[in-house]
Structure 1
Amino acid sequence: MKKQLLALCTSLGLLLTACSGTPAAPQAAQPAPATSASEAPAAPAAPTEKAEIMVSAAASLTDALNELKSTFEADNPGITVSYNFGSSGKLAQQIGQGAPSDVFLSASAKDMNGLEEKQLITKDTRQDFTKNELVLITGASSSVTIDSFEKLTDASLKHIAVGEPETVPAGRYAKEVMDTLKISDSVKDRLVYGSDVRQVLTFVESGNAEVGIVYASDALISKNVKVLATANSDWHNPIVYPGAVVAASEHADAAKTFLSYLTSDKGKEILKKYGFQ
């Protein structure tokens, strides 16, 4: 009887073991199917840095730079350009007083030199980017017929428009011409001073002055004046236009890009179109 009971218990234990089974080992996580390069999502493009730069530029550059703005911004979509035009001397004063500016384009080396001496420009960015000539003009329908700067002493000329020599490079060059020709004393009481070279041009266009002394580039853009004579380059200091990045610029890289564009083939072509050399 005991043997039968033992056998029955043994059989029951084996049966229970068989029913319960052995727990399955946990399956390892399967790697995600590989995605081909063509199916992989593209990484988001790095956003283009936006920069708005202020260019302080000599008034004589107005028309050329306005055209250059559109081509520059098209070729450099992350950068927008604003201009502050005026006489180079006044612009230099503004920069010296802390006025915001990223690039200075001067119509004379003297005004740029002053900023460089005060370490207000980044010296290694300075470069001469163009040249100009000084011309004597009169209104397109004027009866004035003089053909040389020496003849500015003609008594029939009551008003001779020039830039203010202290702040306007064109006026400074005009004074050098008159000093060289020794006619300054003869004409000083008939001089009408403009705040920049474009105002001098306006004086002659409007007939408020019979003649005026401006750059060749200014005379070229106006249909209301004609050129009477061109000054000999030996009569004045070289008319060169230096440009540089302002030391306080918060967008120095964009400012350098603008200067490089100005001296590129595209920049030179536009400057030449407007009478610069």
Structure 2
Amino acid sequence: MERKRIFNSIVAAAVALTLLISWNLFPSVSPTTAQQRTSLTVSAAISLSQALGEIKTVYQSSNPNITITYNFGASGALKQQIQQGAPVDVFLSAATQQMNELQQSNLLINDTRRNLLTNRLVLITPKNGVALSDFKQLTDVRIKKIAIGEPKSVPVGQYAQEMLTKLGLWQQLQPKLVLGNNVRQVLTFVESGNVDAGIVYATDAKASDKVTVLLTAAENLHSPIVYPLAVIRNSRNPGAAKAFVDFLAGDRAKIVFQKYGFGIVR
């Protein structure tokens, strides 16, 4: 009799537990929900896309609860998105101008801003294109179209305009210029043979086997090519964003950036 009473009690307890679970009255915790997941949106100059893609894999392998989403584009366009309230946690620009404007608008967490990388400006042509030994030869009749970034919103175009102006070529070359929305579009124009030459970053040229690098611009012909980064003031996850910025400035990320041809700010 005693055994039967114990058995009935166990059955009753099991039924009650089943009902609690089915009615969602019994809290359940799984290993995947026990640890809080965090998402970061990183807006970055498109010239960084390959390097940051590899860095994302490295970072998330040791930080599995951090999900990183990249938004690549021209630095000027990305800056405008942030000014208009886009939900961005971290911004990496290909020039200081865009970062300065965000800082002046109090849109950055100031102590997170730092200069991260450098780059060089190069003249490229399609494979087996016209051979040039001087930027002034861009005026040659054989060169009918030259691709550069839109100077007002694309930093590589700004640097190209500065260089061509210092060389006294800007006005003369106006009829030949084809403007790209970002540096990768400029590269594509050259790769496809739709233009005879283009001015891009050395890192973008390095990533393509369809172009030839003819010349590297002297650094005194344009503003220093510097990539600053910072956490955006309206970041939804400022702590995680700061940690990611610190990682980007660390030794592991520097190895990746250098692999893709970027210089490191000392």
TM-score, normalized by length of structure 1?
0.82
The DSSP-based 3-state class of the residue aligned with 1:121 is coil
Partner of 1:58: 45
Q: How does 1:123-134 map to 2 (within 5 A)?
A: 123-134=110-121
CA apart distance, 1:258? 1.1
CA apart distance, 1:75? 1.5
Partner of 2:137: 151
Q: How does 1:172-211 map to 2 (within 5 A)?
A: 172-211=158-197
CA apart distance, 1:270? 0.5
Partner of 1:20: none
* 1:169 aligned onto 2:121: no
Which has more radius of gyration?
Answer: 1
- Paired positions, count: 233
Change (3 A) 1:148 1:47: farther
Larger mean Cα displacement after TM superposition, 82-91 or 148-157: 148-157
Deviations 1:156-214 (A, max 9, x none): 11110000000000000000000100111110110000000000000000001110000
CA apart distance, 1:47? 3.8
| Gap regions ≥5 residues in structure 2 | 1-29
CA apart distance, 1:256? 0.9
Q: Distance in 1 between matches of 2:87 and 2:136?
A: 42
Q: Distance in 1 between matches of 2:137 and 2:220?
A: 18
Larger mean Cα displacement after TM superposition, 234-243 or 74-83: 74-83
Q: Distance in 1 between matches of 2:191 and 2:97?
A: 29
Q: How does 1:42-121 map to 2 (within 5 A)?
A: 47-121=34-108
CA apart distance, 1:150? 2.0
Q: How does 1:265-276 map to 2 (within 5 A)?
A: 265-276=251-262
Deviations 1:208-263 (A, max 9, x none): 11100000000001111110100000000000000000110001111111111111
RMSD between superposed Cα atoms in Å: 1.3
CA apart distance, 1:49? 2.8
Name the aligned partner's letter for residue 219 of structure 2.
S
Name the aligned partner's letter for residue 232 of structure 2.
V
The DSSP-based 3-state class of the residue aligned with 2:213 is strand
Partner of 1:16: none
Partner of 2:247: 261
Partner of 1:27: none
* 1:244 aligned onto 2:226: no
Q: How does 1:192-231 map to 2 (within 5 A)?
A: 192-231=178-217
TM-score, normalized by length of structure 2?
0.85
Q: Distance in 2 between matches of 1:275 and 1:104?
A: 20
Identity of aligned residues (%): 48
* 1:232 aligned onto 2:223: no
Q: Distance in 1 between matches of 2:133 and 2:59?
A: 40
Q: Distance in 1 between matches of 2:151 and 2:63?
A: 37
Partner of 2:3: none
The DSSP-based 3-state class of the residue aligned with 2:223 is coil
Name the aligned partner's letter for residue 76 of structure 1.
N
